[in-house]
Amino acid sequence: MKQSWWACLAPPGFLAAWACVCLVQGCGPGPGYGVRSRPRVLTPMHYKQFFPNFSENNLGASGKAEGKIARNSERFNELVCNYNPDIVFKDEENTNADRFMTKRCKDCLNRLAIAVMNQWPGVRLRVTEAWDEDGHHPPGSLHYEGRAVDITTDDRETKKYGLLAQLAVQAGFDWVHYESKYHIHCSVKADHSVAVEKGGCFPGWASVTVAGGGQKRLSSLAPGDRVMALSGTGQVVFSPVILFLHQDQKRWSTFLSLETEDGHRLVLTSYHLVFLSSHCRPDRSQYQAQFANRAKLGNCVLIHTAGGSVHPSKIISIAVEESVGVYAPLTEAGTMFVDGVLASSYALVEHHHLAHWVFGPVRLFYSLNQLVWRETTDNQPRTESETTAIKTPDRCSSIAMDKNKNRAGVYVNNSVVHKHNNVSEPARTDKTVTQTVNVHWYARLLYSLGCIFLDSDTFQP
């Protein structure tokens, strides 16, 4: 006898109830799911070290200078004044110049001020230089635009400056340099820069392997497509795409390009998670999900070979690219092989398992929806044509991408810009994917909660 649809929903219903109980328990005293993880030990930066490992004006750092801002210029209105009482401003000119900065710089500085007080109770952050209107810095300095600050602690103990620099990285500054034994230099991207929007995405021309063995570009991918991924048990599976966390075919963004010794090339945004290891061992448990901008030459990633095996491959090149189109598909497994390299579906939170857990309700809803849809479909009699279609499945949705064609976008490496020819999307005979321009509402909700509850060392606001 055929089970009714409510009987099929009973087990998932019990699962949902159990999940709610776990959430309530996590909010109570004692260890639980709602407890904030212990902050990891911060490693002080060394003298003359900078992060990320690009020059300050590189697209992967704070970006190019856009020209001086004078008090009587129209761009002066872009600057804001920082009156945070937890920050000591040197202001030796007595003009409040050190209090003027871009909004992004102000936000990072305020977060850093809180981190300093938490790290050293009774100590405050001190700003010795911010916006410069008097020409005291070299040409092209971001101080002239209010995008750079020089900082110390108010007790001026130089032994703290290495850790202060690391705290500045965690606070969100786009470039931090232990420039002098007497101060730390920090800078940010321009407020209007598209690269300021930190998300976790891949370019539209990146490809994944779909069920059936074909390749499909992310710009052509649709919810329900099954893509190659790695399950929680370490098995290669074809996991369905549940939804897109971010999808915008017109937005220009800055990406990091990680090229491996085997010729694989993964292109993704700085704060997307990729599985990295400093040791090229086949043990997959040694690979931790980290922000892409933490990748270093010599680190290893996991790649899927044509023979069907997964093995390590060493990173031999790290570059910066600009390209149009950003896509962040969420798979049921939480992972996927993009251009043959294993990456996470998640970004901004440097904790893959935590991110996968909080997206549990989305996966649960997807499973319930699939059950209802399957029950409804099974109860409807099939026509002769539908029966024939099931026996001879259409494989047009897995059209292989022509790898000899150039990819769209602009490639930037060592300050040289190379433009690639635009290519049209591969022909599709199965269905047309309607492109949307949005960030999924659930991802927005989690981002807002992350800004409130998560530590700055695991969450990139």
Q: Which residues, 6+ apart, have CB-to-CB distance to 82 below 8 Å?
A: 89, 99, 100, 101, 106, 109, 110
pLDDT-flagged residues of the chain (< 70): 1-41, 193-200, 370-461
> CA-to-CA distance for 304 and 63, rounded, in angstroms?
34
The per-residue pLDDT for 434 is 45
Give residue 182's pLDDT: 94
> Would you state the pLDDT for residue 401?
35
CATH number of 50-195: 3.30.1380.10
CB-facing half-sphere around the CA of 122: CA atoms within 13 A: 1
| Omega before residue 11 within 30° of 0, cis | no
pLDDT of residue 144: 94
Measured between alpha carbons, how far is residue 18 from residues 11, 22, 23, 148, 368 in Å? 11, 6, 9, 49, 15
Residues of the chain with CATH 2.170.16.10: 197-371+431-450
Specify the pLDDT at position 373: 61
Q: Provide the pLDDT for residue 435.
A: 47
Residue 62: φ, ψ to 5°? -90, -10
Q: Under a CB-based contact definition with an 8 Å cutoff, are residues 329 and 345 in contact? A: yes
Please provide residue 43's backbone torsions phi and psi, each rounded to the nearest 5 degrees.
-100, 120
State the binding site for Ca(2+): 92-93, 98, 128-129, 132, 134
Q: Are 330 and 362 in contact (CB under 8 A)?
A: yes
Q: Concatenated DSSP letters for 255-299?
A: EEEEEETTS-EEEE-TTEEEEEBSS--S-GGG-EEEEGGG--TT-
Residues 78 and 69: beta-carbon distance below 8 Å: yes
Which pLDDT does position 157 carry in this prediction? Answer: 95
Going by the annotation, the residues of the binding site are 92-93, 98, 128-129, 132, 134, 143, 150, 185
Measured over all CA atoms, what is the biggest interatomic distance in the chain, rounded to whole angstroms?
Answer: 86
Residue found under tokens 């400056």: 161
Where in the chain is CATH 3.30.1380.10? 50-195
- Cα separation, 344 vs 201, whole angstroms: 10
Bind-site residues for Zn(2+): 143, 150, 185
User: Can you give the pLDDT at residue 445?
Assistant: 58
The full length of the chain comes to 461
Quick: pLDDT tens for 269-319.
888 999 999 888 888 888 999 988 889 999 999 999 877 889 999 999 998
Q: What is the pLDDT of residue 135?
A: 86
Distance CA 54, CA 287 (A): 24
pTM: 0.53
Q: Extract the tokens encoding 152.
A: 């110390």
pLDDT at 391: 36
Assigned CATH for 197-371+431-450? 2.170.16.10
CB 343, CB 275: distance < 8 Å = yes
Q: What is the pLDDT of residue 387?
A: 37
Q: Tokens for 161? A: 């400056």
Quick one: pLDDT at residue 218? 92
